[in-house]
């Protein structure tokens, strides 16, 4: 499907009106889009939400690839715009995403080209559920963040992107990442280490091992900073094999290969950058109405150009999730923590929050994508 057809889908998406949790209805003409390259707001730009007391504010976290499972979305069609979201998704993607989410087969859902759009749509469907069950959580939201592809869902929720256009960008991103993955045998390794573990030096040793095997320009680098002593390392398969085979001397407590097709968030994703950068120039992007934090450095997005640049850079940069959580939850002694909602499949982000900040985790709730 080309972008012009996607824009037709956007017109349908705009039929969804204001009180929607997703801002799918946002008429871009109704809210001025800043074309400024600096961080200053346009005088005409709609201001961000009023500050709230920390204990009365909420934070929404959106999961990424790897959280998907067959059956997600079950029972959510009764909420808000969920049925229409999946209808728009079928037109944008060219296949029945709802059926794939509900019925599989699992081997198809696990493919990068399918699971990224699936997680994106199901996470926003979970927001609709939260809006139905606890509308105050949506109204009081001051901050959002998403893990990898989850950033796109966070940006849609924040009003920075239109649902259908963002989904089309996710489609292009997933296809480009899959093509990049097909070029070389690579993967991702979850690692939990002892305090004395030196992850960067371990990657250097793994690259040296690859060079001894005559692998040219080997890649092995930290791809995800999850929590203290929790990392994901990605790169050539031979490098990951080396890390697993030498885990004891590298002071790794445990390692686990992730069920993904490539070395995401490393230099091996460089071929995917230009396709994503290109599509991001063709869709509407505006300054978020709430704070949305970038995976690249954990800092808040400031304006449309910043969003476009960081989303493209994210493909070849490590996800600094631990740093992002510190940015969101850092506060003075005795100050209350916001209520945190993980919206989407799985509880991985809650688990990382528990390991990074137990006090913040006490106000954590998971909004599931399956009804009992």
Max CA-CA distance within the chain?
60
- Whether 148 is catalytic is yes
Catalytic residue among 114, 209, 236, 265: 265
The answer to whether the CB of 231 falls within 8 A of the CB of 225 is: yes
Catalytic residue among 58, 148, 186, 294: 148
CB-based burial of residue 297 (10 Å sphere; 0-12 exposed, 13-18 middle, 19+ buried)? Answer: middle
- Per DSSP, 337 falls in state P
**Parallel/antiparallel/unpaired status of strands 141-146 and 252-257:** unpaired
Task: Give CA separation, 239 vs 144, 183, 187, 196, 298, in Å.
Answer: 35, 16, 9, 21, 28
Continuous segment of H or E residues that includes residue 241: helix 237-245
In whole angstroms, give the CA distance from residue 71 to residue 98: 10
| Residue 24 DSSP symbol | T
Catalytic residue numbers read 148, 265
């Amino acid at each position: 499907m080309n972008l012009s057809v996607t824009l037709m889908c956007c017109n349908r998406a705009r039929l969804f009106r204001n009180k929607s949790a997703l801002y799918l209805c946002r008429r871009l003409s109704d809210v001025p889009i800043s074309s400024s390259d600096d961080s200053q707001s346009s005088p005409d730009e709609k201001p961000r939400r009023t500050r709230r007391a920390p204990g009365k504010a909420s934070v929404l976290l959106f999961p990424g690839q790897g959280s998907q499972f067959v059956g997600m979305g079950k029972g959510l069609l009764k909420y808000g715009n969920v049925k229409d979201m999946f209808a728009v998704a079928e037109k944008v993607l060219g296949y029945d995403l709802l059926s794939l989410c509900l019925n599989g087969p699992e081997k198809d859902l696990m493919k990068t080209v399918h699971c990224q759009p699936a997680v994106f749509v199901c996470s926003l469907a979970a927001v609709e559920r939260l809006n139905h069950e606890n509308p105050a959580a949506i109204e009081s939201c001051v901050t959002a963040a998403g893990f990898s592809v989850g950033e796109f869902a966070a940006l849609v929720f924040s009003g920075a992107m239109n649902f259908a256009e963002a989904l089309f960008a996710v489609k292009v991103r997933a296809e480009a990442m899959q093509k990049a993955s097909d070029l070389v045998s690579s993967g991702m390794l979850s690692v939990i280490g002892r305090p004395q573990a030196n992850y960067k030096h371990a990657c250097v040793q793994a690259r040296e091992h690859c060079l001894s095997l005559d692998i040219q320009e080997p890649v092995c680098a930290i791809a995800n900073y999850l929590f203290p002593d929790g990392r994901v390392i990605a790169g050539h398969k031979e490098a990951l094999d080396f890390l697993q085979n030498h885990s004891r001397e590298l002071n790794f407590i445990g390692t686990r290969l992730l069920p993904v097709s490539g070395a995401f968030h490393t230099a091996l994703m460089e071929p995917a950058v230009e396709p994503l950068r290109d599509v991001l120039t063709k869709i509407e992007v505006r300054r978020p109405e709430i704070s949305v934090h970038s995976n690249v450095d954990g800092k808040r997005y400031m304006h449309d150009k910043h969003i476009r640049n960081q989303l493209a850079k994210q493909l070849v940069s490590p996800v600094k999730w631990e740093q992002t959580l510190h940015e969101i939850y850092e506060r003075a002694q005795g100050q209350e923590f916001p209520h945190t909602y993980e919206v989407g499949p799985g509880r991985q982000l809650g688990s990382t929050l528990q390991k990074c900040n137990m006090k913040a985790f006490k106000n954590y709730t998971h909004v599931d994508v399956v009804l009992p």
